[in-house]
Amino acid sequence: MHLAKKEKADLKTVKYAAALHDIARHEEDKSGGRKDHALLGAKKASLILLKHGFKPDFIEAVKHCIECHRFRSGRKPATKEAKVLFDADKLDSIGAVGIGRAFLFAGEVGAKLHNPSADILNTKPYTQDDTAYREYMVKLRHVKGRMFTREGRRLAEERHAFMVLFFKRLGMETEGKI
């Protein structure tokens, strides 16, 4: 809620959007990335909120946040609340936590620890050739430039710097230079 408070966003909207934003993540993972968990999650969240008697305007606000939070979707957040959720979600994908998550995901799909000789641009995600380093190169290193809030940009700069050092060190260690 740190970002929401800094941006003076509606805390209730951000709270519910944050709680529900990855509700369909397992469906995207199970499909090998073919399904969009943000769109599926927005629909599921809408039904849950409707069932519990929330007003249509609130449901739409939460739905917009969830629809726009996915990095690869291309949908841009239009509200303060959606921008906050987007930034918070991206901050979780970078820095020490992001690196840990990237390695965890690589392990889940049976990928290698590190494969510096792989053609990163032609390596498919969700495959054994995927690596946390590929995720860093194609996605994570670009996150800091996509933040919407001032505080999100500040935090992203710090986390980005850590990732740069980490992957430089990983390369040096796996190549036997240190």
What are the backbone dihedrals phi and psi of residue 177, each rounded to the nearest 5 degrees, phi first?
Answer: -80, -25
How far is it, in rounded angstroms, from Cα 50 to Cα 159? 37
Tokens at 46, concatenated: 């809408």
- Indicate the domain borders of the chain: 1-78, 92-178
pLDDT digits (tens, 9 = 90+) for 131-151: 888 889 888 999 999 999 999
Per cent of the chain over pLDDT 90 is 67
CATH classification of 1-78 is 1.10.10.10, yes or no? no
How far is it, in rounded angstroms, from Cα 35 to Cα 45? 16
CATH classification of 92-178 is 1.20.58.1910, yes or no? yes
How far is it, in rounded angstroms, from Cα 140 to Cα 125? 14
pLDDT digits (tens, 9 = 90+) for 69-81: 987 667 899 999 9
Amino acid at 61: A
pLDDT digits (tens, 9 = 90+) for 12-62: 999 999 999 999 888 887 877 788 898 999 999 999 999 999 999 999 999
Q: Determine the average pLDDT of the residues in 98-119.
A: 84
How far is it, in rounded angstroms, from Cα 88 to Cα 86? 6
Residue 153, pLDDT score: 98
SS3 22: coil
